[in-house]
Structure 1
Amino acid sequence: MQNRIIKALIFNKQVRLYLLNNTHLLNEILHMNQGSNIISKEALANSISVMSMLSATLKGNQRLSAALSFDQPKSKIFVDTDAHGNVRGYANDFLLSSSKNYSTVKELIGLKGSIRMIKANDFNQFTGITDMPYQDLDRDFSHYFKQSDQTETLIKTTIHWQGNKEIKNSYGIYAQLLPQSPTHLLNKVEEHFQSIQCVLNEPKTLINSEIFSLLNQYFGEGEIIGESNVQFFCGCSKEMFFGLLHSVDAAELKGYLHSRDPIISTCNRCGRNYSFNEEEIKLILGELNG
């Protein structure tokens, strides 16, 4: 179930439930944000997990983007996804280079945190903004849907770290009430989150019939309605940035050659770094002078 979402209806089709394991996806993206301290990494990983699950709510060409601002307004995290399960995200340079040593994600969010989300397709877009009153990413994303969509939603994520760099396991649930359903059903889902973590933590040993049985055990009559995958995708490439370097002044390029420093270009959509060495810089200069 790595990078996989299982979609189900539970409590006699009164609640929509998505189960996620995105361990590989998080490690892939976090390796591109190696400058992050552990707290910003935790916040980024948590945000990516939430947006991974939200990809399953999209249809057709819909895309969902989230921008999170924190107590220091210039500190931001950006994550976006689409209906095909493509996910990318990064923490901005201000947050990565901040000299403030946060001890918790709650401290990072602070009292001025906000979530701005844009849901768009080929023809229109909707923008919603909410505060982050809980200073807890799961609860604040749930709060967003209650405020912007008037929909009771439960989002829970769990991330197990190996040291400060690698994630051992990442999984989560997204539960949303269907119309006319009683709100206490979400409380029951939250109560049993720990009980179903075996489904999310050790999914390779479970087939769908076993998952179905576990869902019925904890959530009454249930039905698995589908599956989807999530994966990292960004359209950036080294070739694209190589072309952009042709707009750099020749004198500046010569300065890099003199200092023997590589040119590092960073994609502002996913945080991936591209390095250009001395030979590549000379090639660009030769094309500019040609």
Structure 2
Amino acid sequence: MNNYILKTLAYNKQVRIFFMENTDMIKEICNNKNISNTLKTALGKTVSIGTLISATLKGNQRVSIKVNASNSQHKIFADVDSMGNIRGYISDALLNEPLDTINNLSVEELIGDKGYIQVMKDIGMHSVFTGVTDMPYRNIVDDFSYYFKQSEQTDTFFSVNMVYNEDNEIILSRGIMAQLLPGAPISLIDTIKEITFENQLILSNFNDRKNFKEIPHLLFRDIEIVEQYPVQFLCGCSKEFFYPMLYSLNREELVDAYKSEKSIEIVCNVCGKKYSFSPQEIKNLVQ
């Protein structure tokens, strides 16, 4: 199991802390795209936050996250469910921005001063909770702590560690989510935050991934691991899913393709998988 969350209880069971190892999943989602480090970081953080939130879900609950930048066409999405199925993607408008434009932006500059978070939680029985908050920190991670405080009145702390190699590829992704349980003193969140910040070297050590399960005990004395929760990237795309995109092409293009015996290839923006439609399949579609 390469991608998982350790669910723990700490401080005399007054706080739940989730420790996430999702390196392989973030590599799969981010490294196969020709995007800048800024977009990889923004997408990786959003997906990682969503992954941690998935550990709070029960039954058939689902959560859809949308990080909206000041530019209304620049959006980052993450969808998660209670089974640990995760997917994340970037809006076409943002994905198609010139690399030179995005390369010169930090995550904070990408979000801008009018960014906001939108979270839709399907809690079953045709009931959906929607929460929206602004992004005063503009770094995504701290903004989700702010979201939980403002929208759900729950003191929550997030931390996400992403490490790149010299080729600008993500080689490590880990995260922590801490949430106070009813009756816990608010000061515990500050204590957990301080301990996490003081131990960034431990959390960012990509040479010691096999000992990730020891990290909770290295950081906190009074802690109990209660469950290991698997998570996995699941796009859910299929060849049938992309037939409507072929319908969106004009008839002349389709006719020219099958008469010229040319295939049409469509690439999924979420997972990068390529689907090829043969001349015969295109001909059948037109007829």
Would the TM-score normalized by the shorter structure come out above 0.5? yes
Map of 2:131 onto structure 1: 128
**What corresponds to 1:9 in structure 2?**
9
Checking the alignment, whether the CA contact within 8 Å between 1:172 and 1:200 is kept in structure 2 is no
Alignment of 1:1-290 (within 5 A): 2-32=2-32, 34-99=33-98, 100-101=101-102, 102-123=104-125, 124-163=127-166, 165-193=168-196, 194-195=198-199, 198=202, 201=205, 202-205=208-211, 210=214, 213-214=217-218, 218-242=219-243, 245=246, 249-256=250-257, 263-267=264-268, 270=270, 272-276=272-276, 280-288=277-285
Aligned to 2:44, the other structure's residue is in SS state helix
How far is the alpha carbon of 1:72 from its aligned partner? 1.1
- Rounded to whole Å, the distance in 2 between the matches of 1:244 and 1:98 is 21
3-state SS of paired residue (1:192) = helix
Deviation at 1:31, TM superposition (A): 3.9
Deviations 1:201-257 (A, max 9, x none): 424136x6x55643xxx4342211111011111221134435864675542213446
| Structure 1 pair 154–259 and aligned structure 2 pair: CA distance change class (3 A) | farther
Structural RMSD (CA): 2.6
Cα contact 2:162–2:204 (8 A) shared by 1: no
Matched residues, number: 280
* Secondary structure of the corresponding residue to residue 55 of structure 2: helix
Cα gap change, 1:40/1:262 in structure 2, threshold over 3 Å: closer, same or farther?
Answer: farther
CA gap 1:241/1:286 in 2 versus in 1, 3 angstroms? same
**Farther off after superposition, 76-85 or 182-191:** 182-191
Q: 1:199: how far off? A: 6.5
Residues of 2 paired with 1:118 and 1:213: CA distance? 34
Q: Aligned equivalents of 1:192 and 1:250: distance in 2?
A: 62
Q: In structure 1, what is the Cα distance between the partners aligned to 2:285 and 2:140?
A: 48
TM superposition shift of 1:267: 4.2
Q: Matched residues in 1 for 2:83 and 2:94: separation?
A: 29
Q: SS of the counterpart of 2:35? A: coil
The offset of 1:282, in angstroms, is 1.0
How far did residue 68 of structure 1 move? 0.8
Unmatched runs of 5 consecutive residues or more in structure 1: none
Query: Percent identity between the aligned chains?
Result: 39
Does the 8 Å CA contact 1:37/1:96 hold for their aligned counterparts? no
How far off is 1:156 after superposition? Answer: 0.5
**2-side partners of 1:238 and 1:97: how far apart?**
23
What secondary structure, in the 3-state scheme, does the structure 2 residue paired with 1:57 have? coil
Q: Alpha carbons of 1:86 and 1:105: their partners in 2 closer, same or farther (altered >3 Å)?
A: same
Give, as a single letter, the amino acid of the residue that structure 1 aligns with 2:202. C
Shift of 1:24: 0.2
Output the amino acid matched with 1:205: N
Q: TM-score, normalised by structure 2?
A: 0.87
Q: Deviations over 1:88-111 (max 9, x none)?
A: 011111112224334310111110
Call closer, same or farther: CA 1:225–1:69 in 2, change over 3 Å: same
- Is this contact kept in 2: 1:246–1:284, CA < 8 A? no
